[in-house]
């Protein structure tokens, strides 16, 4: 069989395999336990103490993921696990970053502790001293920082009979931590620090899924007032909280039922006032176009598909006071239906009314991809940053997807438009490295935004186990300006429209990553389509999605026409870094090969079935 015939038959097989089987559904229910479960095994010390190996270099141009839970030499620790991270960045000196997570010293036990690490060089290197309280069960971390950056806070759940939270404070950038302060609360709590110029500046607020629902600290975390019970019938759960410009506190989450299509928002305008008990005078039911989680066997089978996120614009810009919320959503009424999408709503009147939901992820509707573990943050100037895990291109089993990668998008106009979603991490497999008794990578990831970038802490299995990583998003050329603003102002070119300045990375169709779009990319493109694993082995520093020429989230046969067009257009487009010398080495036979492939698939598309 000739090479051309073999390629055509192989591509035809790929197309056939990509079709869902008859009767296949994405709504098959399985068991789901969203709440934090007590440890069944007790503390087990590391299986391989002192054993480590250098972490891999993890770069998807121009984004570099740096492992956080490393030993004193910066190496990966073997047979431990770390997941469910939360991050805080010093607003005055963003070189100081602290990340906390659930630390499992051994994957042979579900016993977890309050792991933490700090970086004082902007996330380039990390120091992991250990856990805050060795031998004490802790989970559900949430980190924050004071307005002046002098205090980092670590809000942590323990499994006493009351399911209580405790707050730890660091005065040296996360190097050491003080004694625990009782913060009441219950499962899946979330904390926020008021960093506005409002009357509550410096206050700390938190809410959780418990009778001790809402708490506040008016003295910088030294003590907490008695808790406020939840609003009757409209108490948000599994969500987050944010602060408005006037120090109003906003909560957002879902109804208690695990498959509820109901979401709630709540506002307290007096939580900052020490003279009054907090009250939630405004409560609303919100429509996100579906239910908050799909009970099919999704990528995180023992945990949440993600938290519900709310942020507020506290800038002096035109969108000051706007509220934004996002959640992973399963909508059985969507046509065609998707496994899980990211739906976004906003309020322009302090939560009194909310917009209709809109889908943010830009993969093809109905492609059965899962967008999960979303996290949204907002910069001091009002830019929205959104990151999430995504199975697009890897949905070989709709009900049990096993591969994901992290994507990023942003909006500079209050969510009216969004950038293209771009992959910012390598691919990782989710059914790996579970600690005993844990079928999840935690329940969330976390991002915060500075003026120039988003700072994301996420968990992945690049090493075959659960580890925590940091990646800086949105300022690839390190000029202190977000990439989107660079492009909008004309300071940077963006020839392929991916939102990344051209000076930062490879161009679409530059499959061999030599910095040029040329005929030398033909063989690499062929490998990317026919043999993705072989492509990854041959071009280890390249991203296979550089072949996604039609921008549908996958590199496959549907990109052939677009890829050929990019090759042809490169000769006349200097901004695409076309190399005249490389073009002089064009193999006419290779172009003819792709031309024939294009005609074969065009005829197949035009032939009635």
**495 in helix, strand or coil?**
coil
Nearest CA among 253, 356, 373, 359 for reference residue 310: 253
> What separation in angstroms does the CA of 261 have from each of 11, 172, 258, 475, 527?
40, 44, 9, 37, 43
- Residue 603 has what pLDDT? 52
Strands 403-411 and 384-390: antiparallel
- What is the spatial distance between Cα 583 and Cα 588, in angstroms, rounded to a whole number? 11
Both tokens of residue 490?
């004309």
Nearest-10 Cα torsion for 107, 108, 111, 113: -40
Starting at the edge strand that comes first in sequence, how are the strands of the sheet with 165-170 ordered?
139-145, 152-157, 165-170, 181-182
365-386 per-position pLDDT tens digit: 888 889 999 999 999 999 999 9
Question: Are β-strands 309-312 and 323-329 bridged in parallel, bridged antiparallel, or unpaired?
Answer: antiparallel
Distance, CA of 39 to CA of 34 (rounded, Å):
15
pLDDT under 50 in the chain at which residues?
1-34, 296, 571-593, 596, 600-601, 604-605, 608-609
Q: What is the dihedral of CA 283, 188, 297, 37, to 10 degrees?
A: -140
Residue with the two structure tokens 């926020």:
192
Q: Which residues contact 459 (CB under 8 A, 6 or more apart)?
A: 82, 83, 84, 85, 101, 441, 442, 445, 466, 467, 468, 469
pLDDT for the residue 14:
34
The verdict on domain 62-474 having CATH code 2.120.10.10 is yes
Tokens 């909508």 belong to 331
Measured from the Cβ of residue 495, the count of other Cβ atoms closer than 10 Å reads 17
The tokens describing 287, both together, are 């429509």
The C-alpha atoms of residue 541 and residue 555 are separated, in whole angstroms, by 17
d(CA 164, CA 177): 19
**Annotated domain spans of the chain:** 3-19+507-606, 62-474
HSE (side-chain half, CA atoms, 13 Å) at 45: 4
pLDDT of residue 159: 82
Compute the distance between CA of residue 511 and CA of residue 552 in angstroms, rounded to an integer: 17
pLDDT at 145: 99
Q: Kindly give, in sequence order, each residue whose CB lies less than 8 Å from that of residue 198, ignoring residues fewer than 6 positions away.
A: 243, 244, 245, 246, 247, 272
Do residues 110 and 40 lie in contact, with contact meaning Cβ atoms separated by under 8 Å?
Answer: yes
d(CA 223, CA 189): 17
Backbone angles phi, psi at 488, to 5 degrees: -65, -35
CA distance 536 to 289: 38
Please report which helix (H) or strand (E) contains residue 122, including its range.
none
Is-contact 185 215, C-beta < 8 A? yes
- Nearest CA to 244 out of 376, 387, 349 is that of 349
pLDDT at 606: 52
Residues in the chain, overall count: 609
pTM for this predicted structure: 0.81
Measured between alpha carbons, how far is 64 from 453 in angstroms, rounded to an integer? 13
Write the DSSP string, 341-407: EEEEEEESSTTSS-PPPEE---SPTTS--BEEEEEEEE-TT--EEEEEEE-TT--SSSSS--EEEEE
Q: What is the pLDDT of residue 291?
A: 86
């Amino acid at each position: 069989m000739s090479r051309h015939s073999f390629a055509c038959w192989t591509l035809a097989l790929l197309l056939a395999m990509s079709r869902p089987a008859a009767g296949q559904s994405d709504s098959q229910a399985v068991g789901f336990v969203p709440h934090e479960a007590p440890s069944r095994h007790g503390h087990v010390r590391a299986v391989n103490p002192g054993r480590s190996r250098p972490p891999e270099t993890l770069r998807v141009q121009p984004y570099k993921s740096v492992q956080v839970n490393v030993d004193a030499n910066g190496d990966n620790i073997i047979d431990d696990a770390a997941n469910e991270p939360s991050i805080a960045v010093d607003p005055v000196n963003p070189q100081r970053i602290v990340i906390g997570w659930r630390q499992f010293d051994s994957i042979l036990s579900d016993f977890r502790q309050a792991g933490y690490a700090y970086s004082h060089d902007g996330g380039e290197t990390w120091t992991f001293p250990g856990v805050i309280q060795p031998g004490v069960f802790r989970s559900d971390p949430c980190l924050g920082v004071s307005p002046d950056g002098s205090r980092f806070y670590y809000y942590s759940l323990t499994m006493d009979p009351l399911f209580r939270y405790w707050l730890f404070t660091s005065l040296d950038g996360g190097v050491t931590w003080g004694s625990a302060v009782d913060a009441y609360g219950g499962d899946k709590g979330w904390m926020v620090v008021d960093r506005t110029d409002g009357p509550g500046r410096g206050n700390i607020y938190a809410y959780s899924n418990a009778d001790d629902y809402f708490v506040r600290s008016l003295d910088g975390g030294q003590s907490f007032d008695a808790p406020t019970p939840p609003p009757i019938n409209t108490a948000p759960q599994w969500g987050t909280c944010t602060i408005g410009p006037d120090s109003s506190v906003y909560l957002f989450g879902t109804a208690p039922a695990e498959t509820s299509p109901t979401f709630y928002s709540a506002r307290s305008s007096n939580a900052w006032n020490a003279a009054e008990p907090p009250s939630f005078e405004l409560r609303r039911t919100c429509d996100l176009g579906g239910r908050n989680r799909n009970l099919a066997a999704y990528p995180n089978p023992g945990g949440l598909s993600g938290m519900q996120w709310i942020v507020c614009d506290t800038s002096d810009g035109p969108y000051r006071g706007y509220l934004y919320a996002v959640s992973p959503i399963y909508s059985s009424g969507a046509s065609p239906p998707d496994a899980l999408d990211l739906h976004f709503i906003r309020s322009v009147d302090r939560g009194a009314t909310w917009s209709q939901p809109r889908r943010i992820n830009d993969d093809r509707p109905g492609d059965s991809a899962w967008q999960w573990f979303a996290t949204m943050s907002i910069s001091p100037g009002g830019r929205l940053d959104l990151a999430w895990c995504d199975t697009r291109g890897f949905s070989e089993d709709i009900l049990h997807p096993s591969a994901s990668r992290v994507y990023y998008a942003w909006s500079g106009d209050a969510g009216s438009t969004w950038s293209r979603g771009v992959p910012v991490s390598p691919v990782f497999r989710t059914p790996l490295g579970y600690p005993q008794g844990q079928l999840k990578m935690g329940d969330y990831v976390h991002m915060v935004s500075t003026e120039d970038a988003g700072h994301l802490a996420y968990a992945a299995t690049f090493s075959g186990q659960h580890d925590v990583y940091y990646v800086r998003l949105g300022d690839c050329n390190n000029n202190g300006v977000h990439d989107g603003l660079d492009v909008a102002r004309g300071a940077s070119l963006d020839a392929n429209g991916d939102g990344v300045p051209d000076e930062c990375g490879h161009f679409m169709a530059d499959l061999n990553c030599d910095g040029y779009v040329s005929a030398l990319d033909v063989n690499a493109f062929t490998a990317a389509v026919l043999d993705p694993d072989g492509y990854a082995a041959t071009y280890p520093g390249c991203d296979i999605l550089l072949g996604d020429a039609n921008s549908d989230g996958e590199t496959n046969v549907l990109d052939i026409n677009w890829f050929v067009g990019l090759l042809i257009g490169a000769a006349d487009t200097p901004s695409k870094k076309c190399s005249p010398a490389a073009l002089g080495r064009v193999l006419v036979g290779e172009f003819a090969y792709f031309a024939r492939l294009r005609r074969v698939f065009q005829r197949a598309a035009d032939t009635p079935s």
